[in-house]
Amino acid sequence: MDELMQTESIVLAPFEAHHVGGALALSRAAGWAHRREDWEMIRSLSEGRVALAGDRVVGTALMTPFGDTCSAINMIIVDESQRGRGVGRKLTTAVLELAGDRECRLTATNDGLPLYEKLGFVAKHQIVRHQGVVSDVVSAENADWVGPDALPAIKALDRTAFGADRDAVYNALAKEGRFAAIRKGDRIVAFAATRLFGKGEVVGPVAAESLEQARDLLAFILSGKKGRIVRVDIPEQTGLSSPLEDWGLPREGTVVAMVRGAAGQSKIPAVQTFCLASQAIG
């Protein structure tokens, strides 16, 4: 797939750094919140394809690898003028080929579900986007900020919760934002990240042993963000919607988490993901 592919007057090519400006224009036209910095971060972690009409970017798709076993298919967008021509399917198929034998995960709108189901994806659960201006939040006393020395423990917890190696993602998150954690003795047992994103800030991922730990981490971080716009994406089943709404972050929409080629888990992990880093990378 490194060679160019022709779709009538549309050409698929590798997504390179100079395509970010065109991708940003596409996402703004579609109402996405992503900044240039958000695109640049995810592109730096990924391989991808762009659809080109001449020199103009009219479609994008990325594949973010998580080690050799798992990946996220993301940032799939097609210019409105090119929809209905099969461009989205060709972009998605191209990045699925980049994923190879890896399990593939993505989040889908209702409009995208039929395509992804045809490509072998199975719906798993709903992802809920909460966003708003943070109100008064009482901080939790069992959480605290941690520095770079905590990153190996945080990565290990995420591998347990997520089921794959996302070390590169966490190296990027450490450059972009901050981590908070809960300890038992000297051991980190739960963590949360926060960084700039879109029109404000995002909190996530959050991985914890329990709903109470996840709630405490969110309370700790949000207590310092009163009056700011914050986004949190959660699997619907986590039970965090109610406190998030109480803290000024109403439910704004949902997408469907889907998976293709999943190996399956024999048991529920001791640490679970309560909030996503983003809908794109889980």
Domain ranges of the chain: 5-101, 130-275
Greater confidence, 6 or 140? Answer: 140
* Per-residue H/E/C for the chain: CCCCEEECCEEEEECCHHHHHHHHHHHHHCCCCCCHHHHHHHHHCCEEEEEEECCEEEEEEEEEEECCCEEEEEEEEECHHHCCCCHHHHHHHHHHHHHCCCEEEEEECCCCHHHHHHCCCEEEEEEEEEEEECCCCCCCCCEEEECHHHHHHHHHHHHHHHCCCCHHHHHHHHHHEEEEEEEECCEEEEEEEEEEECCEEEEEEEEECCHHHHHHHHHHHHCCCCCCEEEEEEEHHHCCHHHHHHCCCCEEEEEEEEEECCCCCCCCCCCEEEECCCCCCC
Q: Would you state the structure tokens that stand for residue 101, as one six-digit string?
A: 């034998």
This prediction's pTM: 0.93
Structure confidence at residue 25 as a pLDDT band (50, 70, 90): very high
pLDDT at 265 over 80: no
pLDDT score at 2: 41
Structure confidence at residue 268 as a pLDDT band (50, 70, 90): confident
User: In this predicted model, what pLDDT tens digit does every residue of 14-24 receive, in sequence order?
Assistant: 999 999 999 99
Residue in 223, 148, 212, 149 with CA at minimum distance from that of residue 182 = 212
Backbone angles phi, psi at 8, to 5 degrees: 55, -115
pLDDT score at 1: 41
pLDDT at 267 over 90: no
Does the structural domain 5-101 have CATH classification 3.20.20.70?
no
pLDDT > 70 fraction of the chain, expressed in percent and rounded: 96
Structure confidence at residue 3 as a pLDDT band (50, 70, 90): very low
User: In this predicted model, what pLDDT tens digit does every residue of 74-98 receive, in sequence order?
Assistant: 999 999 989 888 999 999 999 999 9
Angle of helix 36-44 versus helix 167-176 axis, rounded to 10: 150
Instruction: Please give the CATH topology (third level) of the domain spanning 130-275.
Output: Aminopeptidase (3.40.630)
pLDDT at 6 over 60: no
Say whether 130-275 and 5-101 share the same fold.
yes
User: In this predicted model, what pLDDT tens digit does every residue of 199-253 receive, in sequence order?
Assistant: 999 999 999 999 999 999 999 999 999 999 999 999 999 999 999 999 999 999 9
pLDDT score at 241: 97
pLDDT > 90 fraction of the chain, expressed in percent and rounded: 91
Structure confidence at residue 4 as a pLDDT band (50, 70, 90): very low
Residue in 158, 163, 230, 168 with CA at minimum distance from that of residue 194 = 230
Average pLDDT, the chain: 94
Structure confidence at residue 72 as a pLDDT band (50, 70, 90): very high
User: In this predicted model, what pLDDT tens digit does every residue of 138-154 receive, in sequence order?
Assistant: 999 999 999 999 999 99
